[in-house]
């Protein structure tokens, strides 16, 4: 049986399907964006591995991206990658 719930982001009622019991957000784009942002913020706070992989340096570039770039272009080095 389908149940009607209120979206946490917009407050509108939506019908939740049985195969997605914990659903708390409706399907509008703005609410799904809110869900993704909240999920990412939650993981950044609670998951140390996720936080380390998404850490940024002073330039705003993720440390993991610098490692990938250095692996992809071995001859190319930058002072930031050498410090890792």
Q: How far is the C-alpha of 38 from the C-alpha of 56, rounded, in Å?
A: 19
Bridge partner residues of 56 (DSSP)? 62
37-46 residue pLDDT tens = 999 888 888 8
Encoded tokens for 18: 């049985």
User: pTM of the prediction?
Assistant: 0.59
- Print burial letters for 49-83: b (CB count within 10 Å at least 16), e (below 16): eeeeeeeeeeeeeebeebeeebeeeeeeeeeeeee
70-81 residue pLDDT tens = 666 666 555 554
- 63 — pLDDT class (breaks 50, 70, 90): low
């Amino acid at each position: 049986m389908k149940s009607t719930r209120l979206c946490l982001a917009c407050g509108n009622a939506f019908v939740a399907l049985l195969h997605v019991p914990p659903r708390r957000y409706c399907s509008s784009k703005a609410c799904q964006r809110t869900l993704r942002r909240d999920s990412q913020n939650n993981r950044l706070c609670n998951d140390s591995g996720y936080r380390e992989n998404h850490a940024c340096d002073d330039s705003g570039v993720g440390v993991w991206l610098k490692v990938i770039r250095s692996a992809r272009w071995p001859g190319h080095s930058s002072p930031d990658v050498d410090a890792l």
